[in-house]
Amino acid sequence: MTTSVSPNNTLRRELYATALALLVALAAGSVLILTWGESPARVYGTLLAETWGSAYGIGQVLFKATPLIFTGLAVALAYRAGLLNVGAEGQMAAGAFVTAVAGAALPTDTPGVLAVPLALSAGMGAGALVGALPGWLRARFGAHEVITTIMLNFVIAALVMWAGRAGFFVIETTHTAPIVAGAELGSLGLGTSAANLSFVLALVFVVWAAWFFGRTRTGFEWRVVGASMPAAEASGIRVRRVIILAMALSGAMAGAVGANTVLGDKHYFEEGLARGAGFMGIAVALLGQGQPLGVLLAALLFGTLAHGGFEVNALVPRELVEVLQAVMILALLATSAAVRRAAETAPATPATNATTTTNTKQGA
């Protein structure tokens, strides 16, 4: 009877909703492909073959997935404490910019064991600051983090351009000076792909987040705050501190994107680097149900689509994959609501009693 509210059943429900959303997205994509006059089987087949069918393809998928793991974790971290961080885009830009500036400012002979952590922690620190500001505004003034983070995205984009033009960009370009050799992250050696060691770093963060959510006191406190801020306050949790800390950590995670794009690939910061990965982090976190492992899987899926879209561009416009990604999220929002509703109404059948129905409603 009460199985309808058990975690096991909830998970099955969410997986069902996710599978349904993927099907809807595939179907919508097929319609667009047919409109274009191509065969869906051929396009999807090419997409798969060119991504997971070769070492280079796999490497490119991992390369595209890496920033999404960072930003997806960033969104999931804040969401655990009940906060929606729409500012990963700006935190990421600030982080990558500072990573590049710090990496270029180091003495040229700095060894890797020193240069990489220094450049990266400078970037993550910048991301943390950009994240902590809306956290503080929320905790201190009650300014909603959704709006302040959106607005900060634009402020950061402008500030980075301004700082760049004021002296950090190489003259007549929109990119910074190259980082020192020691700060460069090694390649994963998957064909000629751009996949680099930052993917391993991302995996480490996934494991850390799983441990943090599941095994630490702070992680538990965040969850209480996320469930109900007044209840958390009443039980003695310092909610304001949690809000600021959660946003700062979230920002730091988004700031780590520079490891992939700057330290691992370009070796400098360029205007528009990894643009959109911050917003995509929201989609990735949602698709991954806010769970670290789910974020990893969702990022790999979106990474596959991102590189796959590039590869099928000869058959259909690559914008197709952007549509697929968006439809997936919209469909997931709809199907999870529909599946939730179905689960709510199911116990109302004569086989069960009225108590179950009320339980289910409270659970949802």
Write out the H or E segment, with its range, that includes residue 117.
helix 112-141
Nearer to other proteins, 239 or 280 (CB): 280
> Considering the complex, what minimum distance in angstroms separates the CB of residue 146 from other proteins?
5
Nearer to other proteins, 114 or 275 (CB): 275
- Give the interface with other proteins as residue ranges (CB under 8 A): 32, 35-36, 84, 86, 137, 140-144, 146-148, 150-152, 154-155, 158-159, 161-162, 165-166, 279, 282-283, 286, 317, 319-323, 325-327, 329-330, 333-334, 336-338
* Nearest 10 degrees: Cα torsion 349, 352, 357, 360: -110
Nearer to other proteins, 152 or 188 (CB): 152
> Considering the complex, what minimum distance in angstroms separates the CB of residue 211 from other proteins?
27
Nearer to other proteins, 167 or 350 (CB): 167
> Considering the complex, what minimum distance in angstroms separates the CB of residue 118 from other proteins?
28
> Considering the complex, what minimum distance in angstroms separates the CB of residue 102 from other proteins?
21
Amino acid at 241: R
Buried (b) or exposed (e) across 84-96, using 16+ Cβ within 10 A? ebbbbbbbbbbbb
> Considering the complex, what minimum distance in angstroms separates the CB of residue 121 from other proteins?
27
Nearer to other proteins, 5 or 161 (CB): 161
What is the DSSP annotation of 126-158? HHHHHHHHHHHHHHHH---HHHHHHHHHHHHHH
Task: Evaluate whether 67 touches 306 at the Cβ level (below 8 Å).
Answer: no
Nearer to other proteins, 30 or 187 (CB): 30
How many whole angstroms separate alpha carbon 191 and alpha carbon 6?
46
Would you report the helix, strand and coil content of the chain in percent, each value rounded to 5?
A: 75, 0, 20
> Considering the complex, what minimum distance in angstroms separates the CB of residue 159 from other proteins?
7
- 187 forms beta bridges with 196
Question: Which residue, 40, 20, 64, is CA-closest to 198?
Answer: 64
